[in-house]
């Protein structure tokens, strides 16, 4: 089946005020910024990043099947005269112009998601839920920054009925220009927690930065806010100041508009009864953990506000699956049996660490199996970092985790705070910790690996998968994070 065009090249050029050069196709089927993964028929945008300049990879992208490349006027002379190019003053700004054009032509109901924790999993849950009611477009992975948001928006098909975008930040003022591009009909703030404290005076300032999302809502749009969070009233006040008339709350609070009535946690998911804007629904979530239960309330409230069929969306949540590094599960073939590996290595903060430890505490073990946490430093916590790391010891004990392996100077604080019988090992970095973890795993264990991206815990996951490859008949277990 032929992939339908995403953009005609004429419309692209007009949106970006681009000058065409070389033999250009009539249309392109997608957009890429990575020459390694560009697909045949896509447009390659030569974005200049912090470490790499996309112009250095234009030739590779075209050789790998890109239909054309978008390049800057300053670099045009470096490419052959017959190269298929769209030439713009600045490539990233050109992408932003294309994103605005995508939003302007789209009839989709648009939802934007931000929050200290749970942005990506909530965005993915919305993708799953809304897809049951109509064509749905959503951001890829965690494309939530100054280039990820315009790229995701520029990829929005004209035929989509719903669109979901994740918007992130680690400094004040970063959400404002991004939400101005997205112009959502519904804006979700999942929660406000002590994340990126290195760049903020306190958590209240983080709440104010998250509240920037309300300033970009379309007229008549709705804000969806966590009523259980201590900053709910502050966020509600900021939404009202931004002119938002429809403010919807979610949580366990008896006054919540999307309220949790009952739930049951299992090791591979949860069952829920909730009242969503006055309608009682029963549903299953294909993800373990109370945090996913609470965020599902925001998902269903937002879906309902966007005009989707609530029953269809609730039913679809049983099909939720984990994003890479956010709770994906796989079996390890250990000599003498099997073990469970939970990959939470994409990122970490105090709230998500506690949630992941609670999930590990419910993970199945067999025989003499143990629940083992392999934890790396949580970054960008500023002066509070030592106390926040040490404070995880309580969650380790409460969750019934048997052994903890720690990597990094900050995780030394947790190591020192742990009861002696919970200490598995400590090392200065993940590379030094890896052999300790590999040597410890036994049949029946459940192992969870988590840390901030900069602490590089992902290689430990890969090392475990290489050393103890999954049985041939077993794919990843159906859970998500």
**Residue set of the binding site for ATP:** 115-121
Residue 309, Cβ neighbours under 10 Å: how many? 16
How is residue 58 written in tokens?
Answer: 């234009």
Which residues are part of a known binding site? 115-121
How is residue 40 written in tokens?
Answer: 């045949």
- State which H helix or E strand residue 330 sits in: strand 328-334
Pairing of strands 186-189, 222-226: parallel
d(CA 107, CA 18): 25
Residue where the block lists tokens 């690996």:
449
d(CA 465, CA 331): 9
Residue 112, Cβ neighbours under 10 Å: how many? 32
d(CA 112, CA 143): 12
Of the candidates 431, 441, 433, the residue with the CA atom closest to the CA atom of residue 415: 433
d(CA 313, CA 225): 19
d(CA 333, CA 83): 50
The shares of helix, strand and coil residues in the chain, as percent rounded to the nearest 5, are 40, 25, 40
449 φ, ψ to 5°?
-115, 125
How is residue 437 written in tokens?
Answer: 């973890």
> Are 84 and 68 a contacting pair, CB within 8 Å?
yes
**Taking the C-alpha atoms of 52, 58, 60 and 64 in order, what is their torsion angle to the nearest 10 degrees?**
120
| DSSP output for 112-160 | EEE-SS-HHHHHHHHHHHHHTTS-EEE--TT--STTHHHHHHHT--TT-
Of the candidates 234, 143, 221, 214, the residue with the CA atom closest to the CA atom of residue 186: 221
- State which H helix or E strand residue 111 sits in: strand 109-114
How does DSSP classify residue 200? S
d(CA 448, CA 357): 8
How does DSSP classify residue 28? E
How is residue 357 written in tokens?
Answer: 């430890």
Residue 73, CA distances (Å) to 20, 23, 67, 88, 440 in order: 11, 18, 19, 6, 56
């Amino acid at each position: 089946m032929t992939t339908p065009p995403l953009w005609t090249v004429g419309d692209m050029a007009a949106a970006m005020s681009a000058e065409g050069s070389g033999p250009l196709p009539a249309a392109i089927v997608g957009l890429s910024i990575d020459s390694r993964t560009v697909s045949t028929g896509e447009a390659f945008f030569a974005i200049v990043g912090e470490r790499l300049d996309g112009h250095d990879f234009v030739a590779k992208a075209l050789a790998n099947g890109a239909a054309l490349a978008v390049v800057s006027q300053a670099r045009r002379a470096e490419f052959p005269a017959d190269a298929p190019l769209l030439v713009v003053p600045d490539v990233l700004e050109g992408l932003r112009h294309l994103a605005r054009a995508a939003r302007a032509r789209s009839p989709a109901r648009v939802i934007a998601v931000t929050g200290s924790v749970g942005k990506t999993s909530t965005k993915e849950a919305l993708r799953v839920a809304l897809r049951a009611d109509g064509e749905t477009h959503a951001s890829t992975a965690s494309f939530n920054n100054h280039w990820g948001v315009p790229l995701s928006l520029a990829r929005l098909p004209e035929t989509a009925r719903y669109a979901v975008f994740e918007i992130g930040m680690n400094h004040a003022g970063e959400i404002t220009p991004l939400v101005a591009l997205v112009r959502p009909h519904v804006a979700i703030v999942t929660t406000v927690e002590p994340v990126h404290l290195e760049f903020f005076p306190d958590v209240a300032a983080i709440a104010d930065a998250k509240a920037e999302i309300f300033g970009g809502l379309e007229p008549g749009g709705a804000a969806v806010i966590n009523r259980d969070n201590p900053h709910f009233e502050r966020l509600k006040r900021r939404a009202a100041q931004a002119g938002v008339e429809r403010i919807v709350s979610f949580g366990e609070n008896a006054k919540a508009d999307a309220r949790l009535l009952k739930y049951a946690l299992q090791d591979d998911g949860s069952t829920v009864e909730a009242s969503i804007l006055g309608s009682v629904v029963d549903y299953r979530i294909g993800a373990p953990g109370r945090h996913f239960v609470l965020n599902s309330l925001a998902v269903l409230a937002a879906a309902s506000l966007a005009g989707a069929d609530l029953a269809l969306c609730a039913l679809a949540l049983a099909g939720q699956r984990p994003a890479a590094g956010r709770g994906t599960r796989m079996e390890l073939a250990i000599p003498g049996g099997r073990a469970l590996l939970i990959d939470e290595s994409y990122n970490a903060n105090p709230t998500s660490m506690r949630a992941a430890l609670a999930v590990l505490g419910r993970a199945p073990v067999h025989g003499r199996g143990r629940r083992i946490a392999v934890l790396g430093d949580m970054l960008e916590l500023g002066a509070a970092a030592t106390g926040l790391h040490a404070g995880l010891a309580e969650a380790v004990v409460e969750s019934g985790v048997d052994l903890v392996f720690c990597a990094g100077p900050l995780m030394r604080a947790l190591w020192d705070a742990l009861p002696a019988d919970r200490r598995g090992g400590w090392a200065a970095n993940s590379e030094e910790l890896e052999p300790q973890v590999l040597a410890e795993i036994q049949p029946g264990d459940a192992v969870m690996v988590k840390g901030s991206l900069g602490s590089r815990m992902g290689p430990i996951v890969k090392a475990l998968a290489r050393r103890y490859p999954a049985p041939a008949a077993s794919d990843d277990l159906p859970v998500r994070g």
